[in-house]
Structure 1
Amino acid sequence: MISRSEYCVIACAEAWRGNGEVLASPMGLIPSVGARLARRTFSPDLLMTDGEAMLVGLDGTTEGWLPYRQHLALVTGGKRHVMMGASQIDRYGNQNISCIGAWERPTRQLLGVRGAPVNTLNNPVSYWVPRHSPRVFVERVDMVCGVGYDRAAGARYHRIPRVVSDLGVFDFETEDRSMRLASVHPGVTVEQIRQATGFALTVPDGVPYTREPSAAELRLIREVIDPKGLREREVRV
Structure 2
Amino acid sequence: MTSTTTTAATATRAEYCVIACAEAWRDNGEVLASPMGTVPAIGARLAKRTFSPDLLLTDGEATLVGLDGTPEGWLPYRQHLAMVTGGRRHVMMGASQIDRFGNQNISCIGDWQQPSRQLLGVRGAPVNTLNNPTSYWVPKHSTRVFVDKVDMVSGVGYDSAAAAGPSATRYHRIPRVVTNLGVLDFDTPDHSMRLAALHPGVTAAQVQEATDFALNIPEDVPYTREPTPEELRLIREVIDPEGLRDREVRP
Question: In which range does the TM-score fall when normalised by the shorter chain?
Answer: over 0.9
Provide the C-alpha distance between the structure 1 equivalents of 2:217 and 2:173, rounded to a whole number of angstroms. Answer: 21
**Letter aligned with residue 223 of structure 2:** Y
Coordinate RMSD, CA, aligned: 0.9
Secondary structure at the residue paired with 1:152?
helix
Aligned length: 237
Provide the C-alpha distance between the structure 2 equivalents of 1:54 and 1:151, rounded to a whole number of angstroms. Answer: 32
Alignment of 1:3-152 (within 5 A): 3-152=12-161
The Cα shift of 1:224 comes to: 0.2
Q: Which residue of 2 aligns with 1:194?
A: 208
Ranges in structure 2 where 5+ consecutive residues have no aligned partner: 1-9
Q: Which residue of 1 aligns with 2:172?
A: 158
Cα displacement string for residues 9-64 of structure 1 (whole angstroms, at most 9, x for unaligned residues): 00000000000000000000000000000000000000012333222221344443
Secondary structure at the residue paired with 1:19?
coil
Identical pairs, percent: 78
Alignment of 1:216-227 (within 5 A): 216-227=230-241
Provide the C-alpha distance between the structure 2 equivalents of 1:125 and 1:143, rounded to a whole number of angstroms. Answer: 18
Provide the C-alpha distance between the structure 1 equivalents of 2:130 and 2:13, rounded to a whole number of angstroms. Answer: 32
Q: TM-score, normalised by structure 2?
A: 0.92
8 Å CA contact retained: 2:25, 2:44:
yes
Secondary structure at the residue paired with 1:48?
strand
Q: Which residue of 2 aligns with 1:209?
A: 223
Provide the C-alpha distance between the structure 2 equivalents of 1:146 and 1:52, rounded to a whole number of angstroms. Answer: 20
Structure 1 consecutive aligned stretches of length 4 or more whose deviation exceeds 6 Å? none
Provide the C-alpha distance between the structure 1 equivalents of 2:62 and 2:248, rounded to a whole number of angstroms. Answer: 28
Higher share of residues assigned helix: 2
Q: TM-score, normalised by structure 1?
A: 0.98
Ranges in structure 1 where 5+ consecutive residues have no aligned partner: none
Q: Which residue of 2 aligns with 1:182?
A: 196
Residue 246 of structure 2: which of 228, 232, 237 is its match? 232
Provide the C-alpha distance between the structure 2 equivalents of 1:84 and 1:121, rounded to a whole number of angstroms. Answer: 14
Cα displacement string for residues 110-157 of structure 1 (whole angstroms, at most 9, x for unaligned residues): 000000000000000000000100010000000000000001132210
Provide the C-alpha distance between the structure 1 equivalents of 2:62 and 2:147, rounded to a whole number of angstroms. Answer: 36
